Amino acid sequence: MGETRKSSRGRGAKPRVNLIDFRPGDERPEIGVYVLNRAGEPIYSDRVDAEGAFDLPENVLKEAHRIALGPLTEDFASLDRQSLVSYRANRLLDQLKERAEIDLPRRQWEPFLFVTRCVGGRVRRCRRFPWPIRDLVLNTTLPRFTARQYVAATEPLSLASATLKASVADALIAKPSISALIPPWRCEIVCDGIVEVYRRTCCIRPWIIDDPRLPELVDILDDLIPKLPDPPEIIWPPRPIPDPLPERMPLIREGALDEVALNAPRDLAALRSLPRAEVAAYVQDRPYLLSLFSCGTPVKVAQGGIRPNGDFDICWREPLRFLLPRCHDEYAFVVRQNIGGLVITIYNGLAANQWFHYGDEPTLTSYHPLAQGCRHNDFPGEGAFALLQDIGDTGSFNLKTPDATDWDRVAAPAYNDGLAFPVPLAADALGKPKNRNWGGTLKLRYAFSEPLKGAGAQFYRISVIAADNTGAPVGVRTYLSAGLSWKRYTGGGDVVPESLGPVSVGGQDNLYRIPYDADADWQSGQYHGYLDTTDFPEGRYLLTLEVFNNAGQQLKPAGTPGPGADAPFTFRRWFQEFGPTAVVPFAALTHMLWWDNRHAEARIVNLRLNGVEFNENCLFLEGNAGATLSASYYAYHPNPMFLLDHNLWWRRGIGPSPINVGSLVNPVFTDLSPVSHNVLPVGVSLANTFAQMLQGESRCSFAINLHVNVKTFDGEVTLDGLDAWDQGAFALQIV
């Protein structure tokens, strides 16, 4: 700051600051005097004492260009220059020679009062975001179009955009909603990181009829609407692809969901379609629209850390601020984490247009795939217990499993035991993501309550064995034996892996250490085992959990039958989303799972002109405008329960001309599955007339597509690599 010593100006009295209109009971501001050089840098400062006096040394005044009064601070750069009362140095010195006093009106000194401001909220991370967000992107990009209407749009198309639109249309018809096939997002608290606080001031003018700002608002919203994903993001035929990076998702801005962009298509449609008199009311009722072009530049005002429970409260001292009428402050937040030695922004409210008012307590949700949460072993329940909590992101209460009848077996299964999202009747699951079979690699998360450690449980073991029709184990038991590490936070905030096993203790193999919260600050979202179902034939299997003490001795709940030493704990089963869990009175915890990794099959058998079948390699069909076309086909899976639905549609034309899509079958499941490949019941599609398909053309070429969707999933995503697809081509002519 420069020289800060106190000195006298010679024989004259010290200059003083008079606070005009200062009343008894008023808080006296802490005022600083700052001498600035020509570069605007402080070369001297002094504090105005309780009597209003301060020093201006002679040697400092030789270099003075400005003299300013403002809030007292040691960090001059943090002051708002507009809030300072500034004087030309030579003019002020001449004034002080005549009268060694500076009069400050109340409107000038009152802003020097410091106030403490605080904002608070909490931070969480949600996963798995990419597939639901992809649906949001498509639904936002195509807000007023069905798949058929979208590709029938008549605007001029380049060859590239026509191809892309065709791919989008095919993908939307083949899999109308990806996110309907996966569990809801799973969210966990973020308990480590830095939250930065930004503020902007918005001065809103009321919206009027025929407001001149309307064209600007329309342009802003138009730019916010997500553009169609690049062709690699829309793949036809659908097949497994890696999760898209968050920066490639149009609605995700640095880990935060841009809700203004999400609403932009709806708002833009309203502004373009509402009567003039209603537009003003529509905008006025949505402050976020007015804020799009009525707010100043954001300024960082503070930062602070996140507490272990995910909450943050950040306070700072600043001069009292006065806002003009119709002006208000808004706050946004940026959250950063140290991940693997790199500081990564996991949530950026500035980029995502997420602004809040003072006094709000927002929940900041990060969808960044690298965002790290903290594990809290807080599954509801009291005492020492163990239960199967999740398979992937699916809570185990969604698993239909018979009651256990011993430590290694369950009761005879009903028709849908071992499946997820059960329904009482098979017919209720047709065309719906119900009675879903498992497949791929299943991530197993158990809940080991903290009191279980006091009961002596130190290790666990997971095994799987085939089940017969009575629920009894058959064949050879397989133990999970792959190396498993969990990540934990160190005292310095770094993240390191720690091995859980497998280890051999007391003659018992394939044991893993139970990671209790008391042992380390574990990251959230970690699993206790990974079961690759592709290593086994399709069918029902028994999944068993055992626990062991520090000496490798198996433990069982006290008084229960089966192997092991009695210990004061219980095995429990989570059979309902809310309410108590069920006690399993046996020496181990066993569930039934039914998986099937077989592919579906699809085949277009022939085309039917007025009901007459044609299946030649090259088909040129002629008929009058009322002639009808339909298709024979089959959609097959070795187990018909595991087919979700099938979709059959045609597409006309290629290149820059309008592309038309029509459905030949409603996307509703029909059981066309045979008992064996030798007898294939053939389905017949709906029929379209030549006039409906050609739409004014006399002749054209067509493609016909059949896509069959499976229900198979791993607890997180549908294994659409097991879907089936077939395609054909033909030409029509009206004669």
What pLDDT is recorded for position 372?
A: 82
Predicted TM-score of the model (pTM): 0.70
Q: What distances in angstroms separate CA 281 from CA 207, 287, 295, one per listed residue?
A: 8, 11, 20
Instruction: Evaluate whether 704 touches 650 at the Cβ level (below 8 Å).
Output: yes
Query: Per-residue pLDDT averaged across 348-370, rounded?
Result: 90
- In the chain, where the domains are located: 16-112, 122-366, 385-595, 601-734
The tens digit of pLDDT for each residue in 494-517 reads 778 999 999 999 999 999 999 998
Note the CATH number of domain 601-734: 2.60.40
Query: Per-residue pLDDT averaged across 406-423, rounded?
Result: 96
What is the per-residue DSSP string for 649-684? EEEE--TTS--EEEESS-SS------SSTTS-PPEE
Which pLDDT band, with edges at 50, 70 and 90, does 342 fall under? confident
- Between 199-203, 359-363, 548-552, 685-689, the lowest mean confidence (pLDDT) is in 685-689
Residues 692, 696, 698, 699: what is their CA dihedral angle, to the nearest 10 degrees?
A: -60
| Residue 653 identity (one-letter amino acid) | G
Query: Per-residue pLDDT averaged across 39-56, rounded?
Result: 90
Which pLDDT band, with edges at 50, 70 and 90, does 412 fall under? very high
What pLDDT is recorded for position 493?
A: 64
What pLDDT is recorded for position 381?
A: 79
The tens digit of pLDDT for each residue in 135-155 reads 454 444 443 333 333 333 333
The tens digit of pLDDT for each residue in 289-323 reads 888 878 889 999 999 999 888 899 999 887 777 77
Query: Per-residue pLDDT averaged across 269-295, rounded?
Result: 85
What pLDDT is recorded for position 172?
A: 57
Q: Which residues contact 505 (CB under 8 A, 6 or more apart)?
A: 459, 511, 548, 550, 551, 552
The tens digit of pLDDT for each residue in 608-643 reads 999 899 988 889 999 999 999 988 888 888 898 998
The tens digit of pLDDT for each residue in 435-455 reads 999 999 999 999 999 999 999
- CA–CA separation, 521 vs 336, rounded Å? 19
Tokens of 557: 């709940």
| Residue 303 identity (one-letter amino acid) | Q
The tokens 């969901």 sit on which residue?
257
CA triplet 302, 258, 157: central angle to 5 degrees?
A: 145
**pLDDT at position 658 over 50:** no
Other C-beta atoms closer than 10 Å to the C-beta of 380 total 11
What is the per-residue DSSP string for 240-254? --PPPPGGGSTTEET
Residue 340 backbone class (left: φ over 0; alpha: ψ -120 to 50; beta: rest): left
Q: 324 or 138, which is more confident?
A: 324
What pLDDT is recorded for position 169?
A: 56
Looking only at the bridges linking them, the beta strands covering 16-19 and 101-104 are parallel
Instruction: Evaluate whether 564 touches 519 at the Cβ level (below 8 Å).
Output: no
**pLDDT at position 410 over 80:** yes
Q: Which of 171-185, 557-571, 679-693 has the highest mean pLDDT?
A: 557-571
What pLDDT is recorded for position 506?
A: 94
What pLDDT is recorded for position 648?
A: 82
- CA–CA separation, 388 vs 574, rounded Å? 7
Q: Across the chain, what does the average pLDDT equal?
A: 82
Q: What stretches of 381-430 adopt beta strand conformation (E)?
A: 385-391, 394-395, 404-406, 409-410
What pLDDT is recorded for position 226?
A: 64
- Measured in whole angstroms, the distance separating CA 658 from the mean position of its chain's CA atoms is 36
Other C-beta atoms closer than 10 Å to the C-beta of 681 total 12
**pLDDT above 90: percentage of residues in the chain:** 42
- Between 29-33, 447-451, 664-668, the lowest mean confidence (pLDDT) is in 664-668
- Between 147-151, 502-506, 646-650, 663-667, the lowest mean confidence (pLDDT) is in 147-151
| Residue 99 identity (one-letter amino acid) | R
- CA–CA separation, 222 vs 428, rounded Å? 42
